[in-house]
Structure 1
Amino acid sequence: MADLKETEANQVPAEVPVKEQTPDVREKVAKPRKRTGKQGGAVRARAARSAPQASSSKAVTSPTARTARKIYSKKERALKLGEIEKLIGRGESIRAAVQKAGISEQTYYQWKKAAGQTTPSDGLKDLVKLEEENARLKTLLADRLRNENAELRKKLGLA
């Protein structure tokens, strides 16, 4: 056993290990990319096709297929909100009107909130202001009519 250790220590390695001969080059592994709205649907579809099927012969499908998110401009949002308001005005439910417009109820309420539509408290404040202005104008008109009536009585000699 001692002879074996001595011979190993005395021997000079004739070959250089393979790792030292080749330069240290690592293959670049593609990092997973963040999905954007446009890619989302395609990535899901590919993943669904490549995923192994369940043991049963029938594949389970979801009732509604998710699509990629669409980003609407302010004009498009205003048009959709107007369309929904018209449908609601005709007597349709909010849920049905929103479905026909092609957006979710949550999106509808968020857009409505962002559009700054009047809330009940704002409407009440506006109503109070209008009533005050209406009362002021009525008194102004009544004063003018009294003055005209008094002038006419003087001209006719009835006063």
Structure 2
Amino acid sequence: MADLKESEANQVAAEVKEQAPGIKEKAAKPRKQTGRQRGAVRTGAKSAQQASSSKAVASPIARTARKIYSEKERAQKLGEIEKQIGRGESIKASVQKAGISQQTYSHWKKAARQITQSDVLKDMVKLEEENARLKKLLADRLRNENAELKKKLGLA
């Protein structure tokens, strides 16, 4: 009877190994017998079921590969999330629909905020340079027109 139960347990363990080849089975540590167990022999019916169920529970967890998004993809996802939030959806729901975590969303949003602040400064510097260039161009044209008018009026 005990041999039959041991063979069933070994068969279940072999099936579990076949299903999960990446998991190594730990060797069972011998336990010190307590006073009740020294004289009595365990029947093993319940313990065999527990052993087989504990091995079956230890299935491999499938982890997905980490996706690296480009700047365009990040901007698109952030835009989608912002639109959904604007419609009244919760952040949690809209982030799940986009396929990213809330933590990733907050990191991307923070990074986008920093980029936009530096972009604003760059844009302002460009606008100031263009403004100065246009002022010089306008001043030159006004001088030329003024000189032509003076020649026509005979003041020069």
Same fold at TM > 0.5: no
TM-score range, shorter chain: 0.3 to 0.5
Q: Which of the pair has the greater relative contact order for Cα pairs under 8 Å at 6+ separation? A: 2
The TM-score normalised by the length of structure 2 is 0.43
The TM-score normalised by the length of structure 1 is 0.42
